[in-house]
Amino acid sequence: MSRLLIIDGHAYAYRAFHAIRDLRSPEGKPTNAIYGFLKMLEKMRQAVKPTHLSVVWDGGLSAERMAALPGYKAQRPETPDELRPQFDEIGSYLAAAGVPAYCGDGIEADDYIGCLARRAAEAGWNVVIASSDKDFMQLVTVRIGLLNPNDKTGIIWGREQVCAKSGVEPDQVADWLALMGDAVDNIPGVPGVGPKTAASLLQEFGSVEKLYGRLVEVKSEKLRASLQASAEAVRRNQRLVRLHEVPCEFEPEKLVVRATDREKLRGLFRNWGFKGLLAELEAQSPERQAELI
């Protein structure tokens, strides 16, 4: 059975950057995000054991979402100066290690990950998405699971974990987010509606469409009025939080980890001062293995 591991590249680079406070190359350049990303990548590969792999990077904000909500993700701080150059260095590592990666101009990583996951699942593959982004909970099926780095158990999330986290089924997650909003993406929800209230409404009515079709049945007058006043915003939010279709060709041969370029890896590890990783690489070399035999 083919198993595809899709990694949310920017999310893990940021996570690595903040997890390791300070690490620098012999020349004094920051390498904390690079080192942390490499170690996380190896840990994920050992845990998931994928037959295929892709690291997906953000290529910019969706023009469609920006048109619908100009303030979309506007509150996010600028990329730290010491992190910005490390993205290219991580890209150099992935290329040398033969790890497939993707970045599409103007394409948000979430949308491409969603499309790639669905294409693979439709082809009969099992898929694991590595990210803590709650938007991906809407994708979970018997073939698509989530590896959430915030969950220290290392369990691959399925329907049970999504329901426990959100209070709704995976196919209700987009409506759940539309009602309560998403502070991470600067999407305002219905005033007075948080995760529990949104889940309770969907448990009772099933969907946003059915909720608004039976709005008179909402017992709380205050909540009913808030929902009524926010009807247009909720419809907009549905378009914002649902993962969009983007150009995405499912080409299995492009998701295979290729042979490593050992010379390039040696050069990168030396430049970064990663002595331990360099030693591991040398120990794995065919020449070294022949000596041991």
pLDDT (0 to 100) of residue 287: 57
Q: How far apart are CA 138 and CA 177, in angstroms?
A: 10
**Domains annotated on the chain, with CATH:** 3-158+244-274 (3.40.50.1010), 170-241 (1.10.150.20)
Q: Whole-model pTM?
A: 0.93
pLDDT of residue 291: 43
pLDDT at 293 over 50: no
C-alpha 54/C-alpha 112 separation (Å) is 11
The pLDDT of residue 219 is above 60: yes
| Residue 44 pLDDT level (bands cut at 50, 70, 90) | very high
Bridge-partner residues for 55, per DSSP? 7, 101
Confidence at residue 1, expressed as pLDDT on a 0 to 100 scale: 84
Q: What is the pLDDT of residues 189-204, one digit of tens each?
A: 999 999 999 999 999 9
Average pLDDT, the chain: 95
Contact (Cβ atoms closer than 8 angstroms) between residue 162 and residue 192: no
**What pLDDT is stored for residue 69 in this prediction?**
95
Residues 137-153: pLDDT tens digits? 999 999 999 999 999 99
